Amino acid sequence: MSGTGSLSTRVATAIATLGLGLALAAPAGAARRHFPVPSCGWAKKAGVGKTLGLDLRALKGHWSTDIAPVLTCQLVEVHPSLQAPGAPIVTIQFRELQRFGTKGLTYVPRLGSCVEHSSCPQPHKAAWQVVAQSPSSQNFAFPFVAGVQLRVEDGLNAVVIQVDNPEGPLAVSDEVGAVQRLARHLLPRFYWK
């Protein structure tokens, strides 16, 4: 009987150890499925540059606090022509636990999704933008899109993409559409699951 008791004790110990191991592993596995710490690596310069028709160099990202944490990722032109040298032509922000107002912005349909109805900037409307037009000048006989700011909120966090090209149009047929395509590419990386 003592041999059987010893075997049962060993089996019980093994099961308990396995159960403890699974219990300890579960949070780590769950953590991998939760939202990772944001990084500027999510907005790779090659992908951003290709989408916007720009040759870019990334500046070092930095965190600041504006009510809650904000990660700012900036990119500058390798050969400045559309923005002053050293000035960011593209800025992408991840704004943690923040809401934004929609005054002066235009709703962008079928872009982004809020976690719940009450967390959208307006009911069922997650994405909003403002477009800056450049006036005619000596260099350009026609007005062009000189900047776009696109804000998308998922109900917990917000992603803001700003393109600022005051010195000339981007080498893409539709700057506003290109910024929206960039958002569609980046949003799954920032979305809380």
Read off the pLDDT of residues 9-45 as tens digits, 9 standing for 90 and up: 443 443 333 333 333 333 333 334 455 567 898 889 9
C-alpha 186/C-alpha 191 separation (Å) is 9
C-alpha 104/C-alpha 94 separation (Å) is 21
Tokens, residue 124: 């069922």
15: amino acid identity, one letter = I
**pTM higher than 0.75 for the full model?**
yes
What is the mean predicted confidence (pLDDT) over 60-67?
A: 90
pLDDT in tens, 95-146: 988 788 899 999 999 998 887 666 788 888 999 999 999 876 556 677 899 9
